[in-house]
Structure 1
Amino acid sequence: MRSKINIILVLFIIISILTSCVKLKPTPDISSINSSSSKEQSSSEASSSEVSSSSSEVSSQTSSSKPDAASSKNQQTNSTKQHTSSKSSTDFSWDKGGNYSGSINIHVTSSPKTTVLSDANAMIDISNVSEGYITASYTGSAKRLKLQVKKDGKTYNYDLNNQGGEETFPLQLGNGDYEFRIMENVTGTQYIQLFSGTASVSLNNSFSPFLYPNQYSNYNASSNAVKKSFDLCMNASNDLDKVKSVYNYIITNVKYDYPKASSVQSGYLPNVDNTLATKKGICFDYAALMAAMLRAQNIPTKLVVGDVAPNGVRHAWNDVYIKGRGWITVGIQSDGSQWKRLDATFSSSNQADISNFINNSSNYTTLRIY
């Protein structure tokens, strides 16, 4: 009887969080835009189109999303043994670090403009495509702008500010030929193309797109989130200790912001320092903060947007990669050879049985990776 009550309680908590998370949707997809004009998809249309356009991307980039049967079985066995929760720091051993006073060196983006795609108003700096990112800007428009990144039939769409400020965007689709398009909103959901260009990308390291800041997880060496990551990890002897310290700090200190979840608008971008300062946020904020803090520690980390059971609503979480090392953290075990999921939003809800939900990969469907 107690087991049934626990299961019902866990499902209630998950449904409550996901119901709030449903409004967290990155800028609606506009993959149907043609070279002259098109309609921006509605939120519901974006959801279905993303599933079809991302299926091959998911299988090639996120092995943890669909693990093999042996991996699933091992995860189930380990979760039954652990049942670890975030109720207190004593439930899971992790080092809280101290006050780091050394130098801070992280991967930072730059825009040297040695190789650019441009016209009188548009600028796409492709000087650092080998490092897994571009920067883009546009001047001369007071309307809503979009940057579209396309490769091999897959499309990522981003809001682009109309003030001429440069923003950073990842090349998460790997090596190959990319097309970049800057689009302007004409009226309603109608867009026209203002500029386009192409570039051939050969990454120096396949993990590079997940080691740098970008529009969704934006930070620099002076960010408080970066400094906090160095505080937390100052005593760590390896990357596994760093992941544990950052992950457990977030799930024990950041609370879910239900009022924000009920009012957040399409196009919302996280502010990692604000999440750290207020100690509250929605799932997008959790995932962006996690990505910033772990990338600052040179740990490849994906910010993932997708659908989560039981109702298939939109959610955000992280995949973290540590090559050749086994590790266990809050109900998730890795054999060290593939990406593994960290869902800080659910783990922060203080329920031991939620680790079983996170461990079940069938509950998560990856749509977009940043």
Structure 2
Amino acid sequence: MTPSRRLLVLTAAVLLLGGLAAAVVLRAVARGEGPQAGGPAVAAGSVTLGPQDRLTFLNSTPGPHRGALASVPAGTPQAARTVSDLTCQRFHAAAGTGVCLRSTPGALAQDNRALIVDADLRTLRSFPLAGTPSRARVSPSGRFAAWTVFVAGESYGAAFFSTRTAIVDTRSGALEPDLEKFTISMDGREYRSGDVNFWGVTFSRDDDTFYATLGTAGQTHLVKGSISRRTVTTLAQNVECPSLSPDETRVAYKKRVQRGASLWREHVLDLATLREHPLAEKHSVDDQAVWLDDRTLAYGLPAEGAPDSTDLWTVPADGTGTPRLLAAGASSPTRLG
């Protein structure tokens, strides 16, 4: 083939590939996909945890603000995001107090920390974490915060995992570093076992009562605990990552629906009757859901096509309706107001 012939073929190939690429981009835009479709605008600004009708979450969209605490109007969660300079792996807030779990990739466990922050996101207290951040919660009054970390294994669906769950008094700094030291009552008797794990604390308004998951002997249990008495009592089986409703009559939780598999279905349990019902979300939810109000739950699901990102979804708490996208590229929601 002559040099001129080669040049002609190369030029044609470039034009063809360029046309195909343009067609792919245009098709992605038409379907609402790809960078040209436009995601939420993200800009640095002032984020506070004061009483306001806003939604905060951790931004997981690609870019320099990935992992930053973001804020949007609660009524328009798809609006432009204002992001702070506080970055976390897990976050939760209530009554002007927040807990931020930080994990440095590739760092030793002692470099992971829990930060207690005020309404202006200033660090009030800092505690070393015993492992990889998993769950975080603040009590409705802001008086207590809790967190769970993995100290072995990195998934609740793993064949073997170990957790450490702590509760801290945000005012005094007094720390209960390990709920495994609490006295356990099961079926009316004290229970002891070397394989006990706790995770997923959720608090009552009385600044003493909490609910959590107890894992032991291959079973998970919903427990009701007392901070002051350092006790927990089992209430129901096959309950993980509970979340107490604002009216404190129900607990939302993930229920394992296939033994030996990491498949969970979100349910709601009536605490007075211990009757449960599944929610309309059919995907496996590996998250501790958040109540946006007494009727609506929010939770994270892996973003389609982006395994390292999460989208927030909502679903009615009574089992009706259908799941709806709340915010793409987001996790760890908190409703302020």
TM-score (norm 1): 0.28
Structure number with the higher strand fraction is 2
TM-score (norm 2): 0.30
Which protein shows a greater Rg?
2
Structure number with the higher helix fraction is 1
